[in-house]
A and B are shown apart, each in its own frame.
Chain A
């Protein structure tokens, strides 16, 4: 079907279907969904990238807001760990959003393509588990970046702490900036920053990453809203789809083969990344 002649109502239905599916696989693959949504919708739907990024930020925001209460109650998201990191990320994301909306579309599209391809390769090659921190660094001690959660698999309470706090703050500022530019939650980068760099347990890293995205994207989303870059016809079906899909994904988490889903995500990211890059370079409009 030619996108130019298709009736308007096809697109919200297609967005809902796509984001419902993204919601399921994002939970199982441990990503936010925005990193697939922005290049896929930007590459294969008729909307301008400005509106896709606005919807992408809100989609990542809504999905993580919906998951945060469960993660906080399970102590897998730690508010004290997230407070300083999200503050650094929020300030940077505001600048990222402003710069992203000011840059030429082709530049953003090409950079998005390169970023998504690089993330796919990173996901494929790295082990996000990292090494656990055994001692806090002085700043981490002052900020009380430590906690405890109950691991049902191990049937025990796990004490944890983080280190390399300054590096962590710098990493979250960088991640927040890129998230603002591209309209992503950037969970793919938060998790290794928390686990590999700061030494948090993987479960705490995944949980706290979600809470961090919900805070950082709240700031950047307002830049897009205030500048008129949020079209409800694109944003609303995407938000509703990802929230409903994520609920099913959370239920399927134990039964779905996580490794197979991860491979599907990597292939989808490579396709979406190549499409975004070629579109940005004017080779495949």
Chain B
């Protein structure tokens, strides 16, 4: 039995996800900056907003927080945000995939990490 099979499986899954996410992110960002898809916050307005502290930016732009952006995924800026968020989901997917391959103690650590990631993703923290 290869004791390091978890390394190869983690690497294979991560490699594929990174490639897909890179192409996806570049593609939807092109739709955004070339104006093919309408953003929620107009590009021309952004320079007057991006220098503001977060709280003021949210107040003036009306941008949603938490997962409230999900219904806006048809807008170019939030479609780009969804693509970026894929990068922050990859570790969770890799952990879930390798947990069954890990020795019991390491699997417990990985499971605890999954719970931490889920707490962060859900917006509980």
Contacts and interface: CB of A to CB of B under 8 A. Distances in A.
Q: Do A and B come from one complex?
A: yes
Interface of A: 4, 6, 8-9, 11-12, 46-48, 50-51, 58, 61-62, 65-66, 68-70, 72-73, 75, 77-80, 83-84, 86-87, 90-91, 94, 98, 101, 105, 142-144, 147, 214-215, 217-223, 225-237, 239-240, 243
Mostly, the B contact residues are: helix
Contacts of B44: 8
B88 to A, nearest CB: 4
A142 B58 CA distance: 48
B120 A48 contact: no
A225 B88 contact: yes
A83 B109 contact: yes
Contact of B25 (A65, A233, A239): A239
Given A66-B18, A215-B113, A236-B80, A226 B50 contact: no
A82 to B, nearest CB: 10
Return the 4 tightest CB-CB contacts between A and B, nearest first. A232-B80, A222-B120, A69-B15, A72-B11
A180 B2 CA distance: 36
B7 A75 contact: yes
Contact of B54 (A65, A72, A83, A229): A229
A226 B84 contact: no
Contacts of B6: 79
Contact of A48 (B57, B81, B91, B98): B57
The residue in B26, B53, B57, B116 that gathers the most chain A C-beta atoms within 10 A of its C-beta is B116
- Tier of interface size on chain B: 35 or more
B117 to A, nearest CB: 6
A226 B4 CA distance: 35
A19 to B, nearest CB: 13
B71 interface: no
Given A83-B109, A240-B29, A8 B81 contact: no
Given A83-B106, A240-B25, A240-B26, A233 B113 contact: no
Interface in B37-54: 43-44, 46-47, 50-54
Nearest to B113: A87
Contacts of A147: 4
B91 A215 contact: yes
Contacts, number: 177
B49 to A, nearest CB: 9
Contacts of B102: 79
Contacts of B88: 58, 61, 217-218, 221-222, 225
B50 A51 contact: yes
Given A47-B50, A232-B81, A72 B109 contact: no
Contact of B7 (A72, A143, A214): A72
Contacts of A73: 7-8, 11
Given A8-B46, A48-B54, A91-B116, 9 more contacts: A9-B33, A46-B47, A75-B4, A83-B106, A214-B90, A228-B58, A230-B81, A232-B84, A236-B29
A235 B65 contact: no
A94 B11 contact: no
